[in-house]
A and B are shown apart, each in its own frame.
Chain A
Amino acid sequence: MKFPENINIPLDVWVDRAMDWVLNTFGGFFDALGTLILYFMLYIEKFFLWLPWPVLILGVGILSWRVLGSWWSGVSMAAMLFFIGVLGLWELGMMTLSLVVASVIISLAIGIPLGIAMASSNRMQGIIKPLLDGMQTMPSFVYLIPALMLFGLGKVPALFATIIYAVPPVIRLTNVGIREVSASVIEAAHAFGSSYWQILFKVQLPLARPTILVGVNQTTMMALAMVVIASMIGAKGLGLEVLLAINRIEVGRGFEAGLCIVFMAIIIDRITFAMASEKKQ
């Protein structure tokens, strides 16, 4: 049986209208914001493209050796990075990396304060938590639509979509980390006459740090996962390589780019995860 056509709400029309209204009213704001984000992004990209490859490889090698605790890890991480260059994808890799780095920096800048706000009031938690739950259940490419509409094609919407997708874990874990701090320790801090900010910076954040770092790790991984999808709206990098390869059914090319993304993911995950758990002990 067919569903009666006259029972119908024109939700699409409403949403379009709302979006139009947003653009008309805040168009200038989004333009300015877009420009700001673009410049930030470009500086980071410039830096990674300028950075001589031996320096980065050596740096990653040493860092891995330090935080992972074995020279073998250092060598293998450096080798993976080296391999990206060997495949001729160094430049694209650096573009992807700068997208990840830029979106992680902005995600943390937004996410940690939001997590703090969420931890400091139950009402705030009541508002933000369902939003985060909703965001997490949504398929990632859905974020591309508003990003596209607000910023058009290019790096900025890609970054925007990536941030929206990647920011929930750091918000959530900042909140959890702060709320986990033992109530008696907080009480002691109050008893000695600490202010809200003193308690936040001297007690809560230091004690929540391991948990927040787990959030940073997750946010980073999600940002990396988003780059392929974000390339659909014009972010250059390894993601776009994969996308093009799919479109043209060039299996080899897609495999190379995919492998590079996996390597990058392993390197970033290992290092940030080790940093998080190192502080936990």
Chain B
Amino acid sequence: MEKIIIEGLYKIFGPHPEKAMRMLNDGHSKDDIMEKTRHGVGVADASFVVNAGEILVVMGLSGSGKSTLVRCINRLIEPTAGKVIVNGEDVTRIGKKELRHFRQKHFGMVFQNFALFPHRSVVRNAEYGLEIQGVDTTKRREAAMQALEQVGLKGWEESMPDQLSGGMQQRVGLARALALDADIMLMDEAFSALDPLIRRDMQDELIDLQEKVQKTIVFISHDLDEAIKLGDRIVLMKDGFIVQQGTAEEILTNPANDYVARFVEGVDMSKVITAETVMKKYEAMAYLSTDGPKAALRKMEKAGISSIFVRKSGKLKGIVTARACRAAADRGEKNLAAILDTDIQTVAPDTPANELFPLLAEEPHPVAVVAEDGHLKGVIVAGSLLAKLSEVTNPENGSDLDAEADSESKITV
């Protein structure tokens, strides 16, 4: 479902944007327009959607218009032209008072420099949004406490912001936005001011948190690694324009132009490629309730494999090997339960490829790619992983690596 729809959005800074708009549409560059009209181009003709429950990362170099774009969504910056439709309502058309209510109800915002209220304790920062809405003290305190607990700040409620480290301050910022219970979070370079290690922790925590709260998040970042890690989809900006949008993989494997390609250069592909892209379809599958050792053996022989995954009512249960099946058949057993090896390695579809290598090294069996609901989506064997990786990283010399697929030490992870 589309939560936010942005259509033909422009922001020109300056008193008379009309001329700048015309020049922009005639293809003049941002610098050119600045020189001739003294008007700054913030955002130019941006159109994209944000789906409910996804993290959309807006990425671009400094000055590319990311902050302007995100502020046009809640109208902290007044757009010059275009539509911003949130939950079916065009935010650019509503009056001042409705806008305030709209912000209270729908937008939680987190800022690069935290922008906490320095005169308020941690918990009073967290409850600010609800206080503004006139929610009574006990209720808002409760919501604030819960939000603080979610971000791991339990016990710090009465501290003042300046007593906290940067990472903790941004947790307060996050809690302040979460306590509102708004459906959309706008995060403008929320982690950019943090140390790399703390930053990585915060990214992980955001992902965990998102699992639970399922907000629609517009996340601004200038860091491609961050965008890849967090973004379900990425919008890439340059000089106010959107140059490409899509999933991380789409952008990385198929850059729309040189700018994107340069941006993308030097990204470790094995971090970007996920289990889902490198898995192959399973050739055969045994069913715990109906197949016995002999049936399983036959399936394996037919597919030319030496072990087979076993499933029951749509869910992956384990694996059996051809050897175990033969032995069981000799003993006259009629089902697979006794020889089923339930200790199998499973990964989620979005597991980065670089995390798969160590698993494959340890694991005698193929690794199963299992969806959240427990059903098997595919399998990964070392050969298919390496082949896929080499294909994506060097499209021209294709599957040269296929032959030496087993020697994984040749690929640096």
Which A residues are closer than 8 A to B by beta carbons?
182, 184-185, 187-195, 198, 202-203, 206-207
Q: B66 to chain A: closest CB distance in Å?
A: 15
Q: Give chain B residues whose Cβ lies under 8 Å from the Cβ of A203.
A: 117
Majority-rule SS of B interface residues: mixed
* Given known contacts A187-B76, A207-B118, A198 and B132 CB-to-CB distance under 8 angstroms: yes
Q: B285 to chain A: closest CB distance in Å?
A: 51
Which B residues are closer than 8 A to A by beta carbons?
74, 76, 100-105, 107-109, 111, 113, 115-119, 128-129, 131-133, 176, 180, 186
Q: B43 to chain A: closest CB distance in Å?
A: 18
Partner of A206, one of B102, B115, B119, B186: B119
Q: How far is the CA of A194 from the CA of B107 in the complex (A)?
A: 12
* Given known contacts A187-B76, A198-B132, A202-B131, A193 and B101 CB-to-CB distance under 8 angstroms: yes
11 further interface pairs, Cβ-Cβ under 8 Å (given A190-B76, A192-B132, A193-B101): A184-B113, A185-B116, A187-B76, A187-B111, A189-B117, A191-B74, A191-B76, A193-B133, A195-B132, A207-B117, A207-B119
Q: Give chain A residues whose Cβ lies under 8 Å from the Cβ of B108.
A: 192
Q: Give chain A residues whose Cβ lies under 8 Å from the Cβ of B104.
A: 192-193
Q: How far is the CA of A192 from the CA of B129 in the complex (A)?
A: 6
* Given known contacts A191-B74, A192-B104, A185 and B109 CB-to-CB distance under 8 angstroms: no
Q: Give chain A residues whose Cβ lies under 8 Å from the Cβ of B111.
A: 184, 187-188
Majority-rule SS of A interface residues: helix
Is there an interface contact between B100 and A187, defined as CB atoms closer than 8 Å?
no
Q: How far is the CA of A207 from the CA of B116 in the complex (A)?
A: 12
* Given known contacts A187-B76, A188-B109, A193 and B115 CB-to-CB distance under 8 angstroms: no
Partner of A194, one of B109, B115, B116, B132: B132
Closest residue of B by beta carbon distance from A184: B115
Is there an interface contact between B117 and A191, defined as CB atoms closer than 8 Å?
no
Q: How far is the CA of A266 from the CA of B40 in the complex (A)?
A: 55
Is there an interface contact between A188 and B132, defined as CB atoms closer than 8 Å?
no
Is there an interface contact between A188 and B180, defined as CB atoms closer than 8 Å?
no
Partner of B117, one of A185, A190, A193: A185
Q: Give chain A residues whose Cβ lies under 8 Å from the Cβ of B131.
A: 202
Q: A218 to chain B: closest CB distance in Å?
A: 23
Closest residue of B by beta carbon distance from A182: B115
Q: Give chain B residues whose Cβ lies under 8 Å from the Cβ of A192.
A: 103-104, 108-109, 128-129, 132, 176, 180
